Structure 1
Amino acid sequence: MSFASLGLSEHLLSSLDQLGYQTPTPIQQKAVPVVLQGRDVVAAAQTGSGKTAGFGLPILQRISQQPAKGYRPVRALVLVPTRELAAQVAEALNHYAAQLPERLKIEAVFGGVSINPQMMALRGGCDVLVATPGRLLDLLENNATDLRGVDSLVLDEADRMLDLGFADELGWILEELPAKRQTLLFSATFPEAVLKLTEQLLDNPVHIEVKTESTVAELVEQRAIEVDRTNRTMLLRHLIDQENWSRVLVFVASRRGANNVAMKLAKYGIRAVALHGELTQDARTKALAEFKKKKFQVLVATDLASRGIDIAQLPCVVNYDLPRSPADYVHRIGRTARAGESGLAISFIDHESDAHFKLIEKRSRQTLSREQIAGFERSPEPPAELEKPKGPVKGKRKSKKDKLREAAARQQK
């Protein structure tokens, strides 16, 4: 199947040709014609499968068929969970639209930077707005944009956009949108609870490759290495030296952990940089850009980097700390083995994380053989503090935000 067979215009086909796109991916084959028809869509596909083009190409075509004259009302709104993903999606859409006869105005807005340049950029409106929810609400409060003309709403990384962390913000944004619109949900994972929420948001949607359980990319080789918690950094250094990876993305649980691991690796002469939410947006953008350009061999990141970030030809991902959510495991390891390439995902399993890794295996319907590396073998017995009565399994504990929401709900009753 070719892109031409999907019903795309010659101008979009020209852009795709210049970008080197040859054959549509399965999600693009199924999503593009349906989105062109104006249908609501719930689309699930593995990370790196081309979901941005799956919704972006047909939206750009529909807008270009009726270009705005003068002021440009926002015709398409794409909501994303992170600043990095907002910038990446807007960049991709601009590439797709490069050969259209009528230039479309595509803007990305997100927090962490001054709002004034974004307000200036939105003067005269824009055709497509890619936004994180918090900054979009700031712009609406300042009357810097108007959503009454939105024809298409996209929730990229939809499972994250529909969780409790974004619930209030998303609700306020939906109130600003026309009731009659096209709504598109795209993600790699759709837990059952999220699928139930889609019934309230969408009108007779087309479901494309929807999976209610987390799945993993077939081209990712997964390894589970048992190691004591105190030896993880030394093991990471050993693997980097032995495997000679050109680049490796290391996931940790906290901002402090990202700084510590990056600092320790740098002391050993390994070019490493940290990426987390406490950095300024300029620092975050620079760290990610320089890692993509191979100026750093190791990017030590929190889950800020687990969603949607596209790093071409990334050979390896390491879970130094396991993710809290089993679904996030899928998103993390999906940073490698993208666009048909192979990749490696390694998880460090200490005594403290044994039970949680078993939960991840259960949710992803797989069992990985455990291995140990000579010189870094895990102690046969767990630390003494683990013999104390255990609390909830990691990943199941209620967050502080969850507890505050429950308390607020009780007061309303």
Structure 2
Amino acid sequence: MFDPSFSFEDAVTTTALCTESELSATVVSNRQLVDTLIEKYRIEKGASLDVDFESLKPTVPKIRDERDRKTRFTGNSLHTYLGVLSTDVVREKKIGHIKTKPDADKYVFNHAVDKYREVSSFMELKLARPLLKALTEMSLEKPMPIQCACIPVALLNHDICACARTGSGKTFAFLLPILERLTKKPSGTARSITRALIISPTRELAVQIFRVAEKLVSYCPKIRIQLAAGGLDLHTQEASLRLNPDLVIATPGRLIDHLSNAPNFNLQQIEYLVLDEADKLLDEYFVEQISEIVKHCGKQRQTLLFSATMTESVKELATLSLKNPVQVFLNQTTAVAKRLQQEFIRIRPHREEDRAAILVALLVRTFSKRTIVFLPTKKECHRMHILLSLIGHSCSELHGDMTQAQRLEALRRFSEPAGSHPAESTSGNTASTKPLEDVPNPQVDILLATDLAARGLDIPNVQTIINYNLPQTMKQYVHRVGRTARAANTGRAVSLVGENDRKLLKQIIKEAPYPVQARVISPEVISRFREKLEKLQGTVEEILTAEAEERELRAAQIQLDRTEKLMTEGSQSKEDLPKRKRVDWFVERKRQQKLEARNAKKAKLSRKKQKQNSSDSE
């Protein structure tokens, strides 16, 4: 599953040069590399790795009545009773609510919507019959608040700047009005044109939106949808884009690549533009790409901007890029879901090394089902995956050092219930997202992830989110915990909080819709888990070393095979060279501009120096 030699920047090149069968083999080999090493060490060192974590799970005696409960759980006798095998203590933390402040007057909207007409079914929104039929098959009957507020406004052709918390149904809020318009497109046009574009910051979110859209158009045979995301098959996407599909769902980098290299594909006739997760799209990494894409879009378009958090940059974009937008801000009194129970575990300054022991204690004793753990780095994510696998705790990892096929496979293993293998669509538009069906994989209940999984992903039935470290900002925290308690479901978020996190924790407590609770794990429990994990650290290092050596051997073998192929064929095939160029054209252009500016500056200094020398010589 893990491929440390892979870099995020060359994801397109790596997968574009592989056929689907080669890609499948790559996923198998990368996953088996780590799994085989772990299993090897478990067998060879069975005795030393025999950690009885089952004995550390909590046992709770029966409580006869409320008087018995008070007797056992009051005063100083609490920690004495807890011992090593006790359950954790969860105490309520007092909070004070923050008063909401009005937005600055400099952001002018045509109209603001904070109230809406609630409807009991999608039929009241007067959507097309094929869409209603698809919604019924998806067991969706009643629109959610953001959908009730946005769909009627979007159908009136207004630009929208919408903000609602994660899990509130924003995807359907922009897909349904666009598809409603596309169902009414005139037939018999001279040529096909791409009329709608949805931009998503991550590949995983783009794939998720694509799959939802595909289900919605299952009874609309005339509507053609195409996914354009990095890490998936390049040629299939390009061939489909040449036919100008009605709706394109894309990530910024891959879309720019296609705009430059796919013949006949352009965005001049775009009528509907959606910027999903707009706050992320306006990060430093994406802002130039978004500007480039907007330049290619037609001027006479409807723009829908959606975000879970409304930052200053998003408001400025709404003011500059949207025409008389309607502001739809719902659930602004709280950034997190009302059905989310928030807890934190305090990490003392001198006990930072206990984080891993506390995390494993939580996963083994309390939160072993449907849990996502957010870790700060790819390295820590992979290390924790090895550690949990060694103790027999099945899990998946998801981070930027994995290929797109590996990421989708990790999500599939965590998203699907045990024993289920639903068939994916086999339509022409979905060839690039077809799962690797020949790869046997057990389902898992724990997903270890970086912030790659924090935005937009709608993973079913997630019960718990654990933050190994609190993120840097409240916005990141909102997106992380938004993976649970989605729609009308309940969920729990548990955060490990150090001294440096006190400011953010204070903000979380103040903005919480319900009291935040402090969870206390007995020091004896932490000590026992720490001792067990320390015994495994040497084995973890050996696996990482063996993995690095195996990776170097494979890289050398790949390079040798390429050299032999070039020597045999005499030169690179005509297909290889364009792929390498096309991946980097946007970066290369920026680099070339900087180089030209640097050379111009050097030339100017050189001329100035020559002029000065000539005047001195005279």
For 1:3 and 1:200, locate their aligned partners in 2 and report how far apart those are by CA, in whole Å: 33
What corresponds to 1:46 in structure 2?
165
Q: Which has the higher helix share?
A: 2
User: Aligned runs of 1:24-173 on 2, under 5 Å?
Assistant: 24-67=143-186, 69=188, 71-100=191-220, 102-144=221-263, 145-173=265-293
For 1:216 and 1:155, locate their aligned partners in 2 and report how far apart those are by CA, in whole Å: 22
Q: Which amino acid in structure 2 is aligned with residue 181 of structure 1?
A: R
| Residue from 422, 427, 446 that aligns with 1:298 | 446
**Deviation of residue 197 (structure 1)?**
2.3
User: Aligned runs of 1:8-407 on 2, under 5 Å?
Assistant: 8-67=127-186, 69=188, 71-100=191-220, 102-144=221-263, 145-209=265-329, 215-227=335-347, 228-294=351-417, 295-358=443-506, 361=509, 368-375=516-523
For 1:68 and 1:127, locate their aligned partners in 2 and report how far apart those are by CA, in whole Å: 12
SS at match of 1:327: helix
**Deviation of residue 118 (structure 1)?**
1.3
SS at match of 2:505: helix
> Which 5+ residue runs of structure 2 have no aligned equivalent?
1-118, 418-442, 528-589, 599-618
What corresponds to 1:382 in structure 2?
none
For 2:507 and 2:339, locate their aligned partners in 1 and report how far apart those are by CA, in whole Å: 22
For 1:323 and 1:183, locate their aligned partners in 2 and report how far apart those are by CA, in whole Å: 31
SS at match of 1:122: helix
Q: 1:361 to 1:378 in 2, by over 3 A?
A: farther
1:43-101 CA-partner distances (Å, limit 9, x unpaired): 1112111111111011001011015547431111000000000000011011111122x
> When the two structures are superposed, what TM-score results if normalisation uses the length of structure 2?
0.59
Q: Which amino acid in structure 1 is aligned with residue 185 of structure 2?
A: Q
> When the two structures are superposed, what TM-score results if normalisation uses the length of structure 1?
0.87
How many residue pairs match? The answer is: 385
Q: 1:94 to 1:76 in 2, by over 3 A?
A: same
What corresponds to 1:399 in structure 2?
none
1:218-259 CA-partner distances (Å, limit 9, x unpaired): 111000111333222221221222225421101011111110
* 1:72–1:125 CA contact under 8 A, matched in 2: yes
Q: 1:68 to 1:276 in 2, by over 3 A?
A: farther
**Deviation of residue 361 (structure 1)?**
4.8
* 2:341–2:514 CA contact under 8 A, matched in 1: no
SS at match of 2:401: coil
* 1:220–1:343 CA contact under 8 A, matched in 2: yes
1:320-359 CA-partner distances (Å, limit 9, x unpaired): 1222222011111010011210000111012343344345
SS at match of 2:242: coil
Q: Percent identity?
A: 36
For 2:354 and 2:379, locate their aligned partners in 1 and report how far apart those are by CA, in whole Å: 18
SS at match of 2:305: strand
Q: Which amino acid in structure 2 is aligned with residue 34 of structure 1?
A: V
1:272-295 CA-partner distances (Å, limit 9, x unpaired): 111001101111110011111241
Q: 1:68 to 1:274 in 2, by over 3 A?
A: farther
**Deviation of residue 159 (structure 1)?**
1.2
> Which 5+ residue runs of structure 1 have no aligned equivalent?
380-403
Bigger-Rg structure (1/2): 2
* 2:454–2:480 CA contact under 8 A, matched in 1: yes
Q: 1:305 to 1:34 in 2, by over 3 A?
A: same
Higher relative contact order (CA 8 A, sep 6+): 2
* 1:80–1:157 CA contact under 8 A, matched in 2: yes
* CA RMSD, 1 decimal: 2.7
For 1:268 and 1:365, locate their aligned partners in 2 and report how far apart those are by CA, in whole Å: 37
- After alignment, is 62-71 or 179-188 more displaced? 62-71
SS at match of 2:522: coil
